[in-house]
Chains A and B, each alone.
Chain A
C-alpha cells in the first residue's frame, strides 16, 4: 500500500502544473473568447481524449496519467475538456471500440476539436430502467434502415448535430437483449422532429430535455455502429478510461466548502448555524462520505491498474454521489430558512439563487444513467450474488 507517485508520474504532474500556471488565467480574468483558446491549447497537448489511442489523435495516456491530469485540472478549477460531453464520455469511446475506419476518421477528430455535439437516444416513453426492452424500430430497406418510433428525455437533442441512437432491428430474438442495433444519425435527417420538455429547474438549465420523434427516417447502412444486433454490447461497454470518479469527489469537496461558508453566514436559533450541533453532525458526515468516495475511487484505480476491476465497481460511488447531491443541496435549503423558496429575480434571494438551482437540478445526475434502485439491483446481484428479480 503506497499512495506516492513514481518519479515519472511526479514529473508529469509538474508538467501539468506548469502548463496551468502559464496558460490558465484565474476565473474572473477569463474573457469571452477564452474557452476556444483553452480548448485549442489543451487539444495541442492531446489532453482532450487523453485516454484515447494515438491512432485517432488521442493522448494514449496511462491510467495514472489520466488520473493526474484530471486531478490537477480540477484543483485549478479549469473548464471542461471540450464542448461535447456526450461525445467525449461515451460516444467517442464506443466509436473507437466498434466503429469502422471511415467512422473513426469522420467523427473522432470532430469530438476532440470541440466541433460536435452528440445526444443519446436511449430512453423511450415506456422504456426507462428496463432499457433492453426498447421498441423504436428500424427496418432494413436495401442499403438503408427506416426508423420509426420515439425517444424521450434526450438531453441536448435541440442543439445536437448527431444522435447515438439505439433501435430494435429484430423482434424475434430469444432475449430482449438481442436485436438492438446502434445507429449514428445526423439530426437534420428528414423525418426527425425534436420537441422540448421543460424541466422543473429554474433559469438557463430549464431546457435540456427533449422528445425526439422518428417518422420514416432513412438512415444509410454506413451509419450503423458495429454489427446489426450488437447494440446491447455497445451500451454495456466502455474503453479503459480512468474510473476513480475524481471529478465528482472534487465537486463535492468544493460544494462542502461552500456549504460551510453558508452555515457561517446563516442563523439558527439566534446564533450562527455553524454552531448548531445538528448542522455540524451533518457536515461531518458529508466530509466522511466524500472522503470515502475518494478512497473508494483509489481502490478502484488500483484494481484497474492490476487488471481486476469489478465491472460494476462504479455503482458503489454512484450511490454515494446521488445521496450527497440530494442531501447537500437540501441542507443548503434548510440553512436558508424561510428565504429558501425564493428564486433569482429579486434581492430577497440569497447568493443569487444558486442553492435553489442545486436543490432542483440533481435529478439530471441521480436519475440519468441508471436510478439509485437500478444501482442497488446491480450491486446486490453482481457483488452479493443475490438472484435476479
Chain B
C-alpha cells in the first residue's frame, strides 16, 4: 500500500516548477494572455523536447510511457503557474487518438503532438447545457463511406490554436450511437473562433462546421460505437482540469497565507486572528482532501479503470467547489488590494470560474454519483 509519490515523480514536479518559474513568471503569463492564441510556441516546443507533451504516450509515438498520475503532477504545476498553453487540449486529443485511432491515425498525429509541432483539441460539448456524452446532439449524415457534419460545437478549448479537432457527433437517435472524427482546421467548411475571456490565460470558443466532409479514414473507432470511448474521454478531461485547478488553488492559498503573515492590522499580523486563520484552515483541509480524491482518480485510470467514473466525479465536484471558495475567500481575506488588476490573486479567482464548468460542475458530478449508485 503506497499512496505517495516516488522520488522520480517528485523530481519531475521540481523540474517543471523550476522551468515555469524561470521562463514563465507572472509578468510573462500576463503578456501571453494578451497574445492572440495565449501561448508561447517557443516554450511549447521546449516542453516537447523535454518529453512533457507526450508524458502518457507510448515510446513508439514519441512519448515517455508514464501514467496519468505523472501527468497530474505536470498539470498541477502548470496550474500553479497559470501557465498559458494548450496542454489540456493536446492531452485530450492525444488520449482520444491513442484509445480509438487506427495505427495509421496514431502514427500521423501522436508523434507530432508529443513533439509540440502540432496542436490538437477536442470538440465535444454543445450549447444545450448538458454535460457528458448525453449533451452531444450534432448529427452526422452518412454519404457513402464519408460523413457530412453541419453544425456548431461549443466550449472548445484553444479553438484558434488547434491544427486539428477531435469532434464528437451522433450517428443515430440511440443514446449510444456516437462517433468521433478527426477534422483538420484547414478543411473546407471549418472555422474556429475564440471569444473574449474573463480568464485571459485561457482560450475557449466555437468550432463551426459547414457541410464538412469527413472521409472514412478520419473516423476514430467504429462509427456508432464510440460511447464508451467518449465517456472515458470526458472522464480524462475532468481529471486533467481538476489536476490543473488544484495547482492553481494551492498557489492562491499560498498567496493568501503569505499575506496573512505579513499584513499588520490592530498591531498584529492578521493571520493571528481566528476570523482569518479559521477560513484558511478550512481551505487547507478542502484542498488536501481534493488532492487525495484527484490522485486516486488519476492513479485509477491506469490501475483500476472500473473505479474511474466514481473517482472522477468525486474529485471534480469537490475540487471545483474548493477552488471557487479559495478564489472568493482569498480575495476577501486580502481586502481591496486583491480587487486590483495589478495583484495576481484576481487571475486565480478568474481561473476558478473557468475550471468549475469544464467537464462538469459539482451539480453535474454529484448527480452522476447518485446515478452510478443506480439511484
Which residues of A does B touch, CB under 8 Å?
1-5, 9, 64, 67, 260, 274, 277, 280-281, 283-285, 287-289, 291-293, 295-296, 298-299, 301-303, 305-306, 316, 319-320, 373, 375-377, 379-381, 383-389
Assembly CA distance A376 to B296 (angstroms): 26
Assembly CA distance A380 to B270 (angstroms): 12
- Beta-carbon contact of B274 and A299 below 8 Å: no
Which residues from chain A contact B339 at a C-beta distance below 8 Å? none
- Beta-carbon contact of A291 and B3 below 8 Å: no
Contact A302 to B1, CB < 8 A, known contacts A291-B314, A384-B257, A389-B274: yes
Contact A288 to B318, CB < 8 A, known contacts A299-B292, A380-B280, A386-B277: yes
Query: Other than the known A291-B314, A380-B280, what 14 A-B pairs have Cβ atoms closer than 8 Å?
Result: A1-B2, A1-B4, A2-B2, A9-B1, A67-B1, A274-B375, A288-B366, A296-B292, A298-B1, A377-B281, A380-B277, A384-B277, A386-B269, A387-B268
Which residues from chain B contact A320 at a C-beta distance below 8 Å? 285, 289
Which residues from chain A contact B182 at a C-beta distance below 8 Å? none
Which residues from chain B contact A384 at a C-beta distance below 8 Å? 257, 271, 277, 280-281, 284
- Beta-carbon contact of A386 and B271 below 8 Å: yes
Contact A299 to B1, CB < 8 A, known contacts A380-B281, A386-B277: no
- Beta-carbon contact of B366 and A280 below 8 Å: yes
- Beta-carbon contact of A386 and B1 below 8 Å: no
Kindly supply a per-residue 1/0 record for chain B positions 310-331, scoring 1 wherever the CB is within 8 Å of any chain A CB and 0 otherwise. Answer: 0101110110000000000000
- Beta-carbon contact of A296 and B277 below 8 Å: no
Closest residue of A by beta carbon distance from B273: A389
- Beta-carbon contact of B282 and A376 below 8 Å: yes
Q: Does B42 reach chain A (CB closer than 8 Å)?
A: no
Q: Pick the contact of B281 from A3, A299, A376 — CB < 8 Å?
A: A376
Q: Does B278 reach chain A (CB closer than 8 Å)?
A: yes
Which residues from chain A contact B314 at a C-beta distance below 8 Å? 287-288, 291-292
Find the residue from A292, A305, A377 having the highest chain B CB count within 10 A. A292
- Beta-carbon contact of B274 and A373 below 8 Å: yes
Query: Would you call the interface of chain B mostly helix, strand, loop, or mixed?
Result: helix
Q: Separation in Å of the B230 CB from the closest CB of chain A?
A: 22
Contact A296 to B370, CB < 8 A, known contacts A301-B1, A302-B1, A302-B3: no
- Beta-carbon contact of A386 and B280 below 8 Å: yes
- Beta-carbon contact of B4 and A303 below 8 Å: yes
Which residues from chain A contact B318 at a C-beta distance below 8 Å? 285, 288-289, 292
Which residues of B does A touch, CB under 8 Å?
1-6, 69, 257, 260-261, 268-269, 271-274, 276-278, 280-282, 284-285, 288-290, 292-293, 295-296, 299, 303-304, 311, 313-315, 317-318, 362-363, 365-370, 373, 375
Q: Pick the contact of B288 from A2, A280, A296 — CB < 8 Å?
A: A296
Which residues from chain B contact A284 at a C-beta distance below 8 Å? 313, 317, 365-370
Q: Separation in Å of the A305 CB from the closest CB of chain B?
A: 8
- Beta-carbon contact of B366 and A285 below 8 Å: yes
Assembly CA distance A131 to B276 (angstroms): 23
Closest residue of B by beta carbon distance from A257: B373
- Beta-carbon contact of B285 and A288 below 8 Å: no
- Beta-carbon contact of B272 and A387 below 8 Å: yes
Assembly CA distance A380 to B276 (angstroms): 9
Closest residue of B by beta carbon distance from A281: B366
- Beta-carbon contact of A306 and B274 below 8 Å: no
Contact A301 to B274, CB < 8 A, known contacts A295-B292, A296-B292, A379-B285: no
Q: Pick the contact of A298 from B268, B273, B292 — CB < 8 Å?
A: B292
Closest residue of B by beta carbon distance from A282: B366
Which residues from chain B contact A383 at a C-beta distance below 8 Å? 281, 284
- Beta-carbon contact of A387 and B261 below 8 Å: yes
- Beta-carbon contact of A289 and B289 below 8 Å: yes
- Beta-carbon contact of A288 and B369 below 8 Å: yes
Interface CB pairs A-B, < 8 A, 28: A1-B3, A3-B3, A3-B303, A4-B1, A64-B1, A280-B367, A281-B366, A284-B369, A285-B362, A287-B314, A287-B366, A288-B315, A291-B311, A292-B318, A295-B289, A295-B296, A296-B292, A299-B295, A301-B1, A303-B4, A316-B284, A373-B278, A376-B274, A376-B281, A384-B277, A385-B257, A386-B277, A389-B277
Which residues from chain B contact A386 at a C-beta distance below 8 Å? 257, 260-261, 269, 271-272, 276-277, 280
Q: Separation in Å of the A260 CB from the closest CB of chain B?
A: 7
Assembly CA distance A289 to B298 (angstroms): 18
- Beta-carbon contact of A283 and B370 below 8 Å: yes
Assembly CA distance A2 to B280 (angstroms): 31
Which residues from chain A contact B281 at a C-beta distance below 8 Å? 319, 375-377, 379-380, 383-384
